[in-house]
Chains A and B, each alone.
Chain A
Amino acid sequence: MAIFPSIEGSPDLDDLLESYPEVLKSLFGIVEGSSITSGPGYLDAELFSFMLPLLVLLLAIGSGARAFAGEEDAGRLELVLAYPLRRRDAVLAQGAAVGAEVLLVSLAAGLALLVLDPLVGLDLSVGRIGAAGGSLLALGLLHGWLALAVGAATSSRALAIGLPTALAACGYLVNGLHGIAGWLDPLRVASPFWLIGSSPLEGGSSGWGILVVVLVAIPVLVAGSLLVERRDLRTA
């Protein structure tokens, strides 16, 4: 973020970006008309199209997989589930914990932007910062709760990490490339990244999209909490 002042308003950098191969531009959210040399545009390209979502996803998926499948792997659930505790309640409680972590990180990112904005002079609006935080939250909840649910339903930590990661990768690619690869277009509705919108700070994020993703995340968590009650607990 600190290098921004030195590139602000520079027409040459924008020209350079224009000449990037279509695929890369598409992937990194460098859309027609957006400018990497405007504050929001810079952050969108640098942070919100890739880095922050990646970090939040890593955290959320890791947390979700560790919460149930990880504990089962370590053999610790045998004692705990012999306590008067419904398995579904345990999964829901873990969902709350993962949700709290994701919320904290999203808030921290939003706060950091708010604080640093005047210092670095990016000229961001609070509403858009909120949207950016919201988009991180939605992505984190969906993939984190999916990791938790898959881990609880299947007892496989590998699946708990693999499935949400695959979903995220596909979602990201479909979102990034559907403009170029026409055959991907119909799939874009299933991509959380597309639903949320990839340039939140330049006004490209969709409140409805964020809501849809969160609303899908909830039944995913509930499904995991119900499926966990049907299977045998794995022993260490």
Chain B
Amino acid sequence: MTLSPAMPSRVAEHLSGPAERRGYDRRMADAPPIETFGLSKTYGDGVRALVDLQLQVERGEVFGYLGPNGAGKSTTIRLLLGLIRPTSGRASLLGCDAWSDGVSARAEAGYLPGDLRLADRLTGLEQLESLARLRGKVDERLRDELCERLGVVLDRPIRHLSKGNRQKLGLVQAFMHRPPLVVLDEPTAGLDPLLQGEVRALLRETAEDGRTVFLSSHSLDEVEHVADRVGILRGGRLIDVDAVDTLRERSLRHVTVTFAEPLDGAGLAGIDGVRVTGVEGAVVRLSAPETALDALVKAVAEHDVVDFVSQPADLEEIFLELYREDDHGR
């Protein structure tokens, strides 16, 4: 007999008292969807997972929460959802304190955990229906639309589904009640590129509908096409919050060009922002910000090119760049 999500429906209906059923009232509608005040979390073993987070997410935006693994993204999200308790400071979700008054806010918010576990013995449809009963409401037409759009497998037991198919179920349950705020922890991990695109479209539509999306990721690439603003977390601290366009200017590419003949990199290094990091015969390695790529490609094209590979720098390097710039700024 499992608690969730196969909880008997009649029992579930009696669980939320009248306070939780008042719906999306004025207080919740006016407040920022997510706000934190000096939010900190230190775990029992002394690990300082989050330090003094001061953050505000605006209504109707897609906010990308970026950081390498272990930076504190999931900790932040769990604090927002009232799953763990702050060591100091507080978090506010839809105007309600996330720890002491979380039930009211969670009636409206949608959530997709980073490590999604569902009831293996249920079918997809049974699982979605059971979760809908827990919340007490669902828009069935929207649910069916989402299932069709994402290609969700509804009639097989979940234990027979692949990770990607389970993730799709997770996405549907996060969106199917048309929530004013959706919190997603690495939502496109494990999904194929086509589906990733579909999910990004869903996120943008949610924001265009005036609703708010908060998603975490360790990849800037994943987030830059869908987010309005991006916050960067490192070692438990928020080191930067920027509009995506600004970050794009700082976002580096590692470019490896293989020419037909050995060439020195001088001609290329002259381009603003481009650094030659190595030359081996006909292979030239460079780092270039995204904004310099057009000029770089045009310069490279003047010669005979055998291969051209461009890879995004990982977040660690971007952060190092940020620190370097910060140091110069002081």
Contact = CB atoms under 8 A, between A and B. Distances in A.
A80 to B, nearest CB: 3
B119 interface: yes
Given A76-B4, A76-B119, A97-B8, A82 B83 contact: yes
A96 B84 CA distance: 26
Interface string A222-235: 00000000111101
B83 A80 contact: no
B83 A94 contact: no
A212 B16 CA distance: 31
Interface stretch (B31-39, B106-114, B214-222, B275-283): B106-114
A77 B84 CA distance: 12
B3 A94 contact: yes
B85 A232 contact: yes
A82 B106 contact: yes
Contacts of B176: none
Nearest to A90: B3
A75 B2 contact: no
22 contacts: A63-B1, A71-B3, A76-B4, A76-B118, A78-B115, A79-B131, A79-B173, A82-B111, A83-B131, A84-B20, A84-B106, A84-B107, A85-B134, A86-B15, A93-B8, A93-B12, A94-B3, A97-B11, A232-B85, A235-B78, A235-B83, A236-B117
Given A76-B5, A98-B1, A233-B84, 5 more contacts: A76-B3, A79-B4, A82-B83, A84-B16, A84-B106
B81 interface: yes
A94 B7 CA distance: 9
Contact of B134 (A63, A66, A78, A83): A83
Q: Which 10 A-B pairs have the closest CB atoms?
A: A80-B4, A84-B107, A75-B117, A232-B84, A89-B15, A82-B111, A233-B83, A82-B81, A84-B106, A83-B134
Interface in A50-99: 63, 66-68, 71, 74-86, 89-90, 93-94, 96-98
A96 to B, nearest CB: 7
Interface in B76-128: 78, 81-85, 103-104, 106-107, 109, 111, 113, 115-119
Contact of A78 (B83, B106, B107): B83
A63 B1 CA distance: 7
Interface residues on chain B, size class: 35 or more
A76 B7 contact: no
Interface of A: 63, 66-68, 71, 74-86, 89-90, 93-94, 96-98, 101, 230-233, 235-236
Interface string B183-210: 0000000000000000000000000000
Nearest to A92: B15
B1 A85 contact: no
A84 B4 contact: no
Instruction: Identify whether the interface residues of B are mostly helix, strand, loop, or mixed.
Output: loop
Contacts of A74: 117
B135 interface: yes
B304 to A, nearest CB: 54
A62 to B, nearest CB: 10
B77 to A, nearest CB: 9
Given A79-B4, A79-B5, A86 B103 contact: yes
Contacts of B81: 81-82
B80 to A, nearest CB: 9
Contacts of B107: 84
Contacts of A98: 1
Q: Choose among B85, B109, B117 the residue with the greatest number of A CB atoms under 10 Å from its CB.
A: B117
Contacts of A75: 115, 117
Contact of B117 (A68, A78, A89, A231): A78
Contacts of B136: 84
B78 A85 contact: no
Most chain A CB within a 10 A radius of its CB, from B1, B8, B104: B1
B76 to A, nearest CB: 13
Contacts of B2: 66-67, 71, 76
Contacts of B5: 76, 79-80
A96 B109 CA distance: 28
Nearest to B131: A83
Contacts of A82: 81-83, 106, 109, 111, 113
Contact of A67 (B1, B83, B111, B170): B1
B15 A93 contact: yes
Contacts of B83: 78, 81-82, 232-233, 235
Contacts of B170: 79
A74 B3 CA distance: 12
Nearest to A71: B3
Given A83-B134, A236-B117, A93 B85 contact: no
